Amino acid sequence: MKNKVVVITGASSGIGKALAFEFAKKGAKLVLAARRIELLQELEARLTTDVAIKQTDVSKEDDCRELMEHALACFGRIDVLINNAGISMRANFEDVELSVLQKLMDVNFWGTVYCSKYALPHLLKAKGSLVGIISIAGFVGLPGRTGYAASKFAIRGFLDTLRIENLKNGLHVLVAAPGFTSSEVRKSALTAHGSNQGETPRNEEKMMSAEECAQHIIKAIEKRKRQLVLTFLEGKLTVFLGKFAPTLLDRLTFKHMAKEPDSPFK
């Protein structure tokens, strides 16, 4: 990864921030994007590599186009794009306002589409890597998170199709699915009416750290893997049961998620 130009969305916190530090250790040149410019500035000051930052709302097509133009203006190429920006939700579909689901799709799915569209010609030129950070929710529907799961399923389908379309063009496409990872995503998750829930309903200390997750993702990029599923019980076993015992998985998923404090379903 030394001297490779890596664009990371959602870089101000969580997995995106951890990826920035891990890539910096390997000597990559970084283009970091997020809505919170002050956090990007703090991160830039701490990194020991060439860094460019760009305030970006990935739900806006023009922002995504300008992000890739900024990367090219700063470094002249794009070798890796990591679509990491994303938001979650926590509410039953029966109760949720449809604008919440629209926002989930705009950020998670359309943000990935927009960034990928404008980076693709340059990734093809570099025979680089296009990465999407999904979730186990991209393999199994999580109750109380309809919009989140739908967006992650959509990203997986989108990236899997891009991989096939570019089978002879040297493009590497990785779909990375962390299990529950310690990050801000649950604190900023949207409620039924679109406000941030503010507190995580899960024990963050028992989850994989963002740093460990980032290390796995970078190794998968270096090895040009097509898919990365992290953690055994909440990751690999879930995907396995989804293929061979889907009804059992439905019941286990319901029971597991219903244990959350103030669960919207019982």
Looking at residue 257, what is its pLDDT?
87
Nearest to 16 by CA among 158, 214, 219: 214
For tokens 């029966």, name the residue.
94
Q: What whole-number distance in Å separates Cα of residue 7 and Cα of residue 15?
A: 14
Task: Kindly report, residue by residue over 100-116, the tens digit of the pLDDT.
Answer: 999 999 999 999 999 99
| Sequence-ordered strand ranges (E) for 11-163 | 29-34, 51-55, 80-83, 129-133
Segment 142-171 shows an average pLDDT of 97
Contact 44, 68 (CB under 8 A): no
Are 170 and 79 in contact, with CB atoms under 8 Å apart?
A: no
In this prediction the pTM is: 0.91
Span 228-258, pLDDT tens digits: 999 887 889 999 999 999 999 999 999 988 8
Among residues 148, 153, 158, 180, the one annotated as catalytic is 148
What tokens does 43 get?
């991160």
Q: What are the extents of the domains in the chain?
A: 5-258
Q: Identify whether 148 is a catalytic site residue.
A: yes
CB 185 within 8 A of CB 214: no
pLDDT in tens, 34-56: 999 999 999 999 999 999 999 99
Q: Tokens for 20, please give them.
A: 């920035």
Fold (topology level) of 5-258: Rossmann fold (3.40.50)
The token pair that represents 111 in the structure block: 């943000």
